[in-house]
Amino acid sequence: MPLSAAHPDDSQSPLARVRARIAAAALAAGRPAEAVTLVAVSKTQPAARVAALAAEGQRDFGENYVQEALPKMATLAELGLTWHFIGRLQSNKTREVATHFDWLHSLDRLRLAERLSAHRPPERPPLQCLIEINAEAETSKGGVAFEALGELVAAVRVLPGLTLRGFMAMPPPREDPVMQRAVFEDIVQRVAAWVPDLDTLSLGTSGDFEAAIAAGSTLVRIGTAVFGPRERHPTA
């Protein structure tokens, strides 16, 4: 049966159905369900909807736009949520990301890493960082080429205030689950060849997260399947 041919229980909430699919995909890959963390992508979603998911036990949320995220994070501060910045990071937003977020998924330049390191408050734990890979050299996306990983990894690892955990990639969408998995497996293998000791891979979104889990992803970024379709697209 294809990875996408899940049969969710319609009596469950969307979050519960997604969690069940994550657990099933992990089990099929011979991995425990807890090996995969769901990052609920809450961009464009109001604080009340984030709070509703938090009430169901969801702890990790992903945001793309700094100006939208900060008021939401302030409103929900007492919930103790974990916030991931997953959008393309601009230089003029490094202070806000370093100050307020727990994770960054889209590190792709040493200059950004240096600014994040300088701005990370000393009283906070290190910012958990993932280097974004541009797996297919798409000009519309950020990220670094595989061949540049070694140099950037070495430079980021010595910066104070940051902990380099692994990599993020978002290849072009594909409908075929077999092709999805093949693309993700290629990314995983190439990453392992460059840096075998890092522990986090952020691969997979609403349309392909089961294939990403089969290939070894440890974080999946899911918005539409949890929140439903988005209606607006603010800018950073």
- Looking at residue 198, its pLDDT comes to 87
Look at phi and psi of residue 60 and say left if phi exceeds 0, alpha if psi is from -120 to 50, else beta: beta
Decide: 171 and 183 in contact? Cβ < 8 Å.
Answer: yes
CA distances from 195 to 136, 180, 188 (A): 19, 23, 10
- Looking at residue 231, its pLDDT comes to 57
Decide: 9 and 24 in contact? Cβ < 8 Å.
Answer: no
- Looking at residue 236, its pLDDT comes to 46
- Looking at residue 7, its pLDDT comes to 52
Counting beta carbons within 10 angstroms of the beta carbon of residue 219, is it exposed (0 to 12), middle (13 to 18) or buried (19 or more)?
buried
Q: Provide block-wise average pLDDT over 10 residues at a time, the chain (236 residues).
A: 48 93 97 97 96 97 97 98 96 97 97 98 97 85 89 95 96 90 93 86 94 97 86 51
Q: Which residues pair with 60 in a beta bridge?
A: 82
Over the chain, what is the mean pLDDT? 91
Place of tokens 């949890």: 226
- Looking at residue 11, its pLDDT comes to 75
Q: Where are the domains of the chain?
A: 31-227
Nearest to 21 by CA among 215, 210, 216, 236: 210
- Looking at residue 135, its pLDDT comes to 84
Query: Whole-model pTM?
Result: 0.91
Model pLDDT for residues 127-152, shown as the tens digit of each residue: 999 999 998 877 778 899 998 899 99
Q: Where are the alpha helices (DSSP H) in 40-164?
A: 47-55, 66-75, 94-100, 110-119, 149-157
Q: Which CATH architecture has domain 31-227?
A: Alpha-Beta Barrel (3.20)
- Looking at residue 12, its pLDDT comes to 86
